[in-house]
Homo-oligomer: A and B are copies of this chain.
Amino acid sequence: MTKYYGGIDLGGTFIKAGLLSENGDIIHNFAFPSRVEQGIPALKESLRVVARKLVEESELRGAALAGIGVGSPGTIIFPDGIVTGATPNIPGWVGTNISGIFSDFPFPVVADNDANCMGLAEATFGAGKGTKNGFYLTLGTGVGGAMFVNGAIVRGASFCAGEFGHMVLVYNGDTCKTGRKGCLEQYVAAGALCRSAMQLAGKYPDSALSSQPGELDVVDIFDAFKRGDQAAVEAVSANADMVGVAIGSVVNLLNPEIVVIGGGMSQAGEKYIGLIRKSVFSFAFESTTSILKVEAAKFGNDAGWIGAACLNIGSRPLP
């Protein structure tokens, strides 16, 4: 009997979910409201509805559901899915046993951190397929990361690894939302790009960004960047240079064979990725870049549930 693997990506607004074949083919996927604002019991029921739907969709196709993986924000003890670290988007979530929500389902349900799931999707079936040492980062509202070393995901000693956005970029620099000084996230996340583009728009009155009504968002900025708008080009180039130096630092430390850039900002396209790549290659040692690829993520917004589904696929041994 054909086996499918269910993946669930828990977000503050939507639960994204889908079925994956053992070879990484997307069989079916859908979204369902998380109902976080109705409290934890409603959220748990949403997750169970999603799981039942995954069972039904498998049965419809004459396949068995081999297991479900859940990606959740916060610090998640793998594989049981005990939530030990908070995420501001889901109040009250700490202390939950994610696997326990599904204890009456007749297959294994395991859970991991959502950034780890994104990395796992890309490492198993995406831009990092076939590699053993990779660095997977997300650039968007926040900056996060996941790593593979010697073929295994790096979860860390207390399942907190991957806080790429809170590595130092500028010693004693600007204060980030966590109170640290000089963190990468404060300089390169979506909000930082918007602030710097607004400033530059003031300097270049001819820029399309100067006449934009209201607040700028990253989509406006990247659109203007692609058209060659001077303010946008300067802002995006400075952003890519900082991102590249930070990635280059990690490359000097970990010597991966692939760096995969995901998250909302990565969808700006190859022109942006190319600027980041150039900066990585100038900061990282030649001995490391001779074998290094820097690529955009393959799975975009689907990486979370795809990676969660991968948690149960035996082809990648779980450490």
A positions within 8 Å CB-CB of B: 75, 84-85, 131-133, 145, 147, 149-150, 152, 154-164, 166-171, 173, 178, 180, 182, 187, 242, 245-246, 248-250, 252-257, 283, 285, 287-288, 290-292, 319
Q: List 15 A-B pairs, Cβ < 8 Å.
A: A75-B287, A133-B157, A147-B253, A149-B149, A150-B154, A157-B288, A159-B255, A160-B287, A162-B255, A163-B285, A166-B252, A168-B168, A168-B248, A168-B249, A178-B285
Residues on B with beta carbons closer than 8 Å to the beta carbon of A290: 158
For the complex with contacts A163-B253, A166-B249, 6 further pairs of A-B residues with Cβ separation under 8 Å are A157-B291, A158-B291, A159-B255, A161-B253, A168-B168, A168-B246
Known: A157-B291, A288-B160. A169 touches B166 (CB 8 A): no
Copies of this chain present in the complex amount to 2
Q: Are A169 and B167 in contact (CB under 8 A)?
A: no
Q: Write out the residue numbers on chain B whose beta carbons fall within 8 Å of the beta carbon of A246.
A: 168
A253 touches B180 (CB 8 A): no
Q: How far, in Å, is A201 (CB) from chain B's closest CB?
A: 23
Q: Which of B166, B252, B292 is within 8 Å of A167, CB to CB?
A: B252
A152 to chain B, nearest CB (A): 5
Residues of B within 8 A of A256 (CB): 156-157
Contacts of A242 in B (CB 8 A): 171
